Amino acid sequence: MGPLQNLEQWDDFVGQRYKPNKDQEEFRKYDDTTPAGVREFYRLNHTHQTVDFVRAKKQQYLAKQRGKMNIWEALDYLNTLVDESDPDTDLSQIEHNLQTAEAIRRDGHPEWFVLAGFIHDLGKLLCLYGEPQWAVVGDTFPVGCAYSDKIVFHEFFRDNPDSNVPQYRTRLGIYEEGCGLDKVDLSWGHDEYLYHVVKDYLPEPALYMIRYHSFYPGHREGAYDYLLNEHDREMFEWVRKFNPYDLYSKGAERPKLEQLRPYYADLVSRYFPDPISW
Ligand code: FE
Ligand code: FE
Alpha carbon distance, N-terminus to C-terminus of the chain? 23
How far, in Å, from the CA of 83 to the mean position of ligand 1? 17
C-alpha of residue 210 to centroid of ligand 1, in Å: 8
- Tell me the CA–centroid distance for residue 202 and ligand 1, in Å: 17
Q: Return the closest-CA partner of residue 120 out of 85, 82, 78.
A: 78
Q: Beta strands of the chain (E only): which ranges?
A: 68-69, 276-277
Ligand 1 center to residue 190 CA distance, Å?
7
Cα-to-centroid distance, 165 and ligand 1 (Å): 30
Question: How far does the centroid of ligand 2 lie from the alpha carbon of residue 80, in Å?
Answer: 17
Cα of 167 to ligand 2 centre, how many Å?
34
CA of 168 to the centre of ligand 2 (A): 30
DSSP class per residue in 38-69: HHHHHHHHHHH--HHHHHHHHHHHTT--S-EE
Q: How far apart are CA 58 and CA 40, in angstroms?
A: 25
- Residue by residue, pLDDT tens for the chain (278 residues) are 789 988 889 999 999 889 887 665 665 566 678 899 999 999 999 999 999 999 999 999 999 999 999 999 999 999 888 655 444 455 678 889 999 999 999 999 999 999 999 999 999 999 999 999 999 999 999 999 999 999 999 999 999 999 999 999 999 999 999 999 999 999 999 999 999 999 999 999 999 999 999 999 999 999 999 999 999 999 999 999 999 999 999 877 788 889 999 999 999 999 999 999 99
Q: State in Å: Cα 169 to ligand 1 middle.
A: 28
User: DSSP string spanning 222-272?
Assistant: -TTGGG--HHHHHHHHHHHHHHHHHHH---SSPP-HHHHHHHHHHHHHHH-
Q: How far is the CA of 166 from the centre of ligand 2 (A)?
A: 35
Report how far ligand 2's centroid is from the alpha carbon of 246 (Å).
5
DSSP assignments along 182-195, one per residue: GGS-BPPSHHHHHH
Q: What is the pTM of this model?
A: 0.94
Query: From ligand 2's centre to the CA of 96, what distance in Å?
Result: 7
